[in-house]
């Protein structure tokens, strides 16, 4: 936890302070060592939100792209269930930054609870994630100038994120590797949209700067349904054009056409 209440003010951890957890009202103490990012912790390792996890520097740096007033926002359901969102922007968009492994059941529960949300996933957690993405990139096909489609998302992205109900942005920025392909993968975020268009997964590359601007600017920076509809139409048009070519060739090869072509060719000589 990055913020606790000290004298009723949201405050970052510092040695010597004593704070209060804004979610449960329990006492928290500052942890300001050298092994982990500075944070507040409940006494006796008490956890008031079982969705919370230890933050990495990657996690903290992402959150700090947004004002402190948007970070660690407590949300409550009508049932009384409450959780602390990593980032909740005033217009209603929630962003969760995920580094550690997340059980599919919990992932789905978070998506239901937060509703309008997006994931940002650390693609450097496992060594195989970036090489798999680079190898799978060969199956990407550019469509509509700004996005890619692939029939084989299971060969490119971690299995636990393939059936999300919301957009998932994979961040390979901290992954190691000097090659040109690696650098290209690391420069951008790669958004896997929920759903499929005519059997194709849709992937949208986005710069980090644009991601932050979009998130600040609108509650729906990525609209999967509209994108999938447009991609489906483009794929259907491609299929119709591909089917039209063999039909045209077949017409040219009909016996009558061949005889006319033969007479024209012999006439030239």
Confidence label for 209 from pLDDT (cuts 50, 70 and 90) = very high
Look at residues 129, 139, 190, 189 and name the one whose alpha carbon lies nearest to residue 160.
129
**Residue 269's pLDDT is what?**
26
Q: Is the pLDDT of residue 251 over 80?
A: no
Residue 265: per-residue pLDDT: 40
Across the chain, mean pLDDT equals: 88
Per-residue pLDDT, 180: 73
pLDDT tens for each residue of 124-154: 888 899 999 999 998 999 998 889 999 999 9
Judged against a pLDDT cut of 70, whether residue 268 lies above it is answered with: no
pLDDT for 174: 87
On the question of pLDDT at 19 being above 80, the answer is yes
Is residue 173 predicted with pLDDT exceeding 50? yes
- Provide the b/e sequence for 23-48 (b: ≥16 CB within 10 Å): beeeebebebeeeebbbbbbeeeeeb
| Alpha-helix residue ranges (DSSP H) falling in 121-223 | 129-136, 180-187, 208-217
Of the listed ranges 107-116, 157-166, 179-188, the least confidently predicted one is 179-188
The answer on pLDDT for 7 being more than 50 is: yes
Mean pLDDT of 221-244: 93
Compute the Cα dihedral for 211, 217, 218, 219 and give only its sign: positive
pLDDT at 15 over 50: yes
The gap from C-alpha 189 to its chain's centroid, in whole angstroms, comes to 7
pLDDT of residue 47: 74
């Amino acid at each position: 936890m990055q913020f606790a209440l000290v004298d009723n003010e949201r405050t970052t951890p510092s040695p010597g302070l004593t704070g209060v957890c804004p979610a449960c009202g329990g006492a928290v103490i500052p942890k300001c060592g050298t092994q982990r990012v500075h944070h507040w912790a409940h006494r006796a390792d008490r956890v008031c939100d079982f969705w919370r996890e230890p933050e990495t520097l990657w996690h903290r740096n992402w959150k700090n792209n947004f004002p402190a007033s948007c970070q660690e926002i407590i949300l409550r359901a009508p049932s009384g269930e409450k959780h602390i969102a990593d980032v909740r922007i005033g217009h209603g968009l929630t962003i969760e930054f995920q580094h550690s492994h997340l059980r599919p059941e919990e992932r789905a529960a978070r998506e239901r609870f937060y509703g309008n949300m997006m994931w940002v996933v650390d693609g450097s957690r496992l060594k195989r994630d970036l090489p798999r993405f680079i190898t799978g990139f060969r199956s990407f096909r550019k469509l509509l100038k700004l996005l890619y489609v692939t029939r084989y998302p299971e060969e490119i992205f971690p299995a636990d994120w393939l059936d999300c109900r919301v957009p998932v942005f994979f961040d390979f920025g901290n992954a190691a590797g000097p090659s040109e392909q690696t650098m290209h993968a690391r420069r951008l975020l790669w958004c896997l949209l929920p759903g499929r268009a005519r059997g194709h997964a849709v992937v949208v590359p986005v710069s980090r700067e644009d991601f932050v601007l979009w998130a600040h600017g609108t509650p729906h920076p990525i609209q999967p349904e509209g994108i999938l509809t447009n991609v489906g139409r483009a794929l259907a048009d491609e299929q119709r054009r591909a089917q039209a070519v063999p039909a045209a060739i077949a017409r040219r090869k009909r016996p009558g056409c061949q005889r006319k072509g033969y007479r024209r060719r012999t006439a030239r000589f």
